[in-house]
């Protein structure tokens, strides 16, 4: 049969000079395989923002010459997220798929349904919704406000789901949201930064911002204290009893 014929069950009709039969004792059954999803680009995103995906795979035309896609969705366990916006560009490609913000962090299969081929049950590449970075520990946990202090932050998500550092800012949650200088990301779970001098006394969370968002608190706060005044000398250091020292 021609490639443009949809899946289904068909009578075979024969036309002669005496006419055409309406049915045939034996039917022609045409089937089409389920769609396949082989790549998902990009393969991860933040729950904070919409994300636009593109898929490559097979059987999106369902054996015909036009799109037979009826649904594109994300599935994780019992949760299904229908994706309303997409464009089927060919039998092997779908673009413009919008994943709306606010999805739960996790790993999802990308499923494509067609009119006659059903849906794939899994995708070769998964789509991951990543959480914001987390800061589990700050070391040292305190410092004086008359000197700069280099701190080490331990946590997760400093690469933002990729293979390279994705940190765009590290700051304190003080009144001025003070940004830290000298940020150096050594791994997905560790970075260093410099807390400036001259800040107000108090305890502050360390907040790390990446493309996946920003944490709302750190595992422990950094406490800024002030040194008590220290007298190291008096000049003059003696005086007579007949006049005051000024």
Cα–Cα distances in angstroms (integers) from residue 139 to residues 113, 136, 188, 194, 201, in the given order: 51, 10, 17, 12, 18
- Report pTM: 0.69
Task: Using the predicted structure, report yes or no on whether residue 82 has a pLDDT greater than 80.
Answer: yes
18 or 152: which leads in pLDDT: 152
pLDDT of residue 239: 64
Helices and strands: H and E segment counts in the chain: 0, 24
**Spatial distance between the Cα atoms of 24 and 58, rounded to a whole number of angstroms:** 33
Q: Per residue in 186-219, pLDDT tens?
A: 999 999 999 999 999 999 999 999 989 999 999 9
Is the Cα torsion angle 161, 163, 168, 173 positive or negative in sign?
Answer: positive
**Spatial distance between the Cα atoms of 56 and 89, rounded to a whole number of angstroms:** 10
Per the CB < 8 A criterion, the answer to whether 212 and 181 are in contact is: no
pLDDT of residue 172: 97
Cis peptide bond upstream of 236, omega within 30:
yes
Find residue 79's DSSP bridge partners: 76
Helix (H) or strand (E) holding 202: strand 202-204
Q: How many Cβ atoms from other residues are within 10 Å of residue 198's Cβ?
A: 10
């Amino acid at each position: 049969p021609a490639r443009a014929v949809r899946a289904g069950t068909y009578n075979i009709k024969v036309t002669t000079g005496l006419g055409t039969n309406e049915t045939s004792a034996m039917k022609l059954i045409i089937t089409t395989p389920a769609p396949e999803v082989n790549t998902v680009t990009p393969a991860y995103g933040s729950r904070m923002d919409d994300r636009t995906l593109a898929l490559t795979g097979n059987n999106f035309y369902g054996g015909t010459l036009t799109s037979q896609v009826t649904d594109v969705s994300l599935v994780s366990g019992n949760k299904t997220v229908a994706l309303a916006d997409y464009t089927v560009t060919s039998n092997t490609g779908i673009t413009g798929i919008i994943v709306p913000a606010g999805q739960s962090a996790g790993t999802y299969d990308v499923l494509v349904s067609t009119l006659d081929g059903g849906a794939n049950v899994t995708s070769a590449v998964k789509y991951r919704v990543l959480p914001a970075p987390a800061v589990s520990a700050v070391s040292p946990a305190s410092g004086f406000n008359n000197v700069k202090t280099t701190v080490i932050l331990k946590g997760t998500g400093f690469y933002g789901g990729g293979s390279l550092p994705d940190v765009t800012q590290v700051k304190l949650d003080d009144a001025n949201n003070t940004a830290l200088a000298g940020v150096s990301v050594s791994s997905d779970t560790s970075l260093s930064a410099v807390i400036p001098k001259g800040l107000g006394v108090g305890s502050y969370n360390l907040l790390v911002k990446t493309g996946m968002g920003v944490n709302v608190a750190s595992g422990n706060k950094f406490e800024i204290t002030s040194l008590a005044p220290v007298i190291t000398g008096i000049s003059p250091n003696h005086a007579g009893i007949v006049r005051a020292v000024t």
